[in-house]
Structure 1
Amino acid sequence: MNMNAVGIDVSKGKSMVAILRSYGEIISKPFEVKHTVSGIRSLIEQIQSIDGESRIVMEHTGRYYEPLVRELSKADLFVSAINPKLIKDFGDNSLRKVKSDKADAVKIARYTLDSWTELRQYSLMDEIRNQLKTMNRQFDFYMKHKTAMKNNLISILDQTYPGANTYFDSPAREDGSQKWVDFSATYWHVDCVRKLSLNAFIDHYQKWCKRRKYNFSRSKAVEIYEASKELVSILPKDDLTKLIIKQAVEQLNTASQTVEQLRTMMNEAASK
């Protein structure tokens, strides 16, 4: 049975392909393939038309290889994405010293023949791993965004209701919402509290807790009310200030929701 080694040197948007047979017989001189539907389909058809068993190897460098390895795998071809160091250490170590895509593709094909029985086929686990990597990058991005939005809201509250972010230490809910943020959306200015009588505020706060499904504590309500008397606000209690706070709250809530959604998705993917 013929052994057909397909070496692919991947770069952004395109790849160089070399196809060798046992003992280094060249089936096809190195040729370029664009990472488009038609380009990948043409490569698949060419590989499928070769007599014998074909195995495809490419380096998992960055993310450029992902569309290629996925489509080749979906076509039921044996494809393996390997650590670039394995190619670098193979043979005469010429790969990447003098950069030549054609020479690199040939070297990868030779590695394929030499490591034929040790090659591991790309699988669903690899795909899930790629998904997790992508989600983790997104998670890190939105965590940073959430932190920035949190700091932004606190900075504005320091001008309208100093310390409002410190009244509650309840953990975030599954949807990412937090009690202090919801409190700030309703009581966005210290005058929203101290302009009421104590009993009026306690009643209003109790109804707010019930509506938002938070635990109500009369002593906490009294504590918040008494503290409000000593606070100094910088921005006035008007529609413009209210709009600024509302926007900051919405931005933080959106970031928090995204973080929790990604966390759930990552846990589900990891469980597979």
Structure 2
Amino acid sequence: MNAVGIDVSKGKSTVAVLRPFGEVVASPFDVSHTGSELKELADFIKKLPGETKVVMEATGNYYEPIARYLHEQNLFVSVVNPVLISDFGGNTLRKPKTDKKDSLKIASYALSYWVDMKKYVPQEDLRKSLKLLNRQYQQASKLKTMMNNNLISLLDLTFPGINKIFTSPSRESDGHEKWVDFVLAFPHCDMISKLTIKAFARKYKKWCNSNSYYFTETSCKKIHDFSKECISSVSSEESTAFA
């Protein structure tokens, strides 16, 4: 029984090999995540006599290329939840934290739960890509919400409440929101309130045409009336929110 414990980090991994009763077959050593060094590691593992299992933690995306490579080399690979490793042996987790100690701990865990080790099977490329795209979408959505909230906070100083005047959903063709595009052109209520309704209508209609938005006299008057009632915290000359 050869338990190969791999502590995976960014750019390199630390490897240790243990056998039952604490026999150290290979003291912890580092392996860079390059094709040549991973091949050397796979060749080394294959030469170990007896049954061998390679165990590592599911550490973000770092473990995936190593696990996949060793799996393709026909080695038994198991990827374990880090929480299980951290609780193993009664430790609350790695105090102090060292890659060498962690690789030995992972190998020791593998020996203790030898028969329970589940074989790693790489995800299908399509499924993996969909999961990656979903994570990117979630991050982009959070960023968009954060930026929108920040913009609304700035508008509270220059044009408070203007975002609530627009009810149009995001445009399907490019994701643009009308209120966001509008305040980029009219960031301060004074830019509208100091104009006559006819003067603003000309500007607003021109803006709608330039940005592919539908113009109506009703919405134009609604915005103009709102700007007349709006109270800003800073003057248009002093405003730096959209500088």
TM-score, length-normalised on structure 1? 0.64
- How many residue pairs match? The answer is 233
**2:209 matched to 1:210?**
yes
Give the counterpart letter for 2:148 in structure 1: K
**2:161 matched to 1:163?**
yes
- What 5-or-longer segments of structure 2 have no aligned partner? 95-100
User: In structure 1, what is the equivalent of residue 97 of structure 2?
Assistant: none
Check the 8 A contact 2:55/2:106 in 1, yes or no: no
User: In structure 2, what is the equivalent of residue 244 of structure 1?
Assistant: 241
Structure 2 Cα separation of the partners of residues 34 and 9 of structure 1: 10
Cα distance change on mapping 1:16 and 1:220 into 2, 3 Å: same
User: In structure 2, what is the equivalent of residue 45 of structure 1?
Assistant: 43
Structure 1 Cα separation of the partners of residues 236 and 72 of structure 2: 60
Give the counterpart letter for 1:194 in structure 2: S
Structure 1 Cα separation of the partners of residues 78 and 166 of structure 2: 52
Structure 1 Cα separation of the partners of residues 102 and 202 of structure 2: 74
**2:23 matched to 1:7?**
no
When you count helix as a share of all residues, which structure comes out higher? Answer: 1
State the secondary structure of the residue aligned to 1:170.
coil
**2:229 matched to 1:194?**
no
Check the 8 A contact 2:2/2:50 in 1, yes or no: no
**2:132 matched to 1:120?**
no
Check the 8 A contact 2:3/2:108 in 1, yes or no: no
**How many angstroms does 1:209 deviate by?**
2.0
Structure 1 Cα separation of the partners of residues 204 and 138 of structure 2: 34
State the secondary structure of the residue aligned to 1:10.
strand
Check the 8 A contact 1:162/1:231 in 2, yes or no: yes
Give the counterpart letter for 1:114 in structure 2: V
Structure 2 Cα separation of the partners of residues 149 and 19 of structure 1: 51
CA offsets 1:7-26 (integer angstroms, 9 cap, x no match): 31426453232165xx99x7
Aligned ranges for residues 133-172 of structure 1 at < 5 Å? 136=135, 139-140=138-139, 143-172=141-170
**How many angstroms does 1:184 deviate by?**
0.2
Cα distance change on mapping 1:113 and 1:157 into 2, 3 Å: closer
Give the counterpart letter for 1:10 in structure 2: D
User: In structure 1, what is the equivalent of residue 178 of structure 2?
Assistant: 179
Check the 8 A contact 1:55/1:112 in 2, yes or no: no
**2:200 matched to 1:224?**
no
**How many angstroms does 1:218 deviate by?**
1.6
State the secondary structure of the residue aligned to 1:153.
helix
CA offsets 1:59-80 (integer angstroms, 9 cap, x no match): 3256664453244345554422
Structure 1 Cα separation of the partners of residues 125 and 78 of structure 2: 10
Percent of residue pairs identical: 31
Give the counterpart letter for 1:28 in structure 2: V
Structure 1 Cα separation of the partners of residues 170 and 230 of structure 2: 27
Equivalent residue for 2:78, pick from 55, 77, 80: 80
**How many angstroms does 1:222 deviate by?**
0.9
Structure 2 Cα separation of the partners of residues 36 and 54 of structure 1: 21
Structure 2 Cα separation of the partners of residues 103 and 229 of structure 1: 71
State the secondary structure of the residue aligned to 1:236.
coil
Cα distance change on mapping 1:102 and 1:160 into 2, 3 Å: closer
Cα distance change on mapping 1:95 and 1:129 into 2, 3 Å: farther
Cα distance change on mapping 1:83 and 1:236 into 2, 3 Å: closer
State the secondary structure of the residue aligned to 1:151.
helix
Give the counterpart letter for 1:82 in structure 2: V
Check the 8 A contact 1:5/1:112 in 2, yes or no: no
Structure 1 Cα separation of the partners of residues 124 and 55 of structure 2: 17
CA RMSD after TM alignment:
4.1
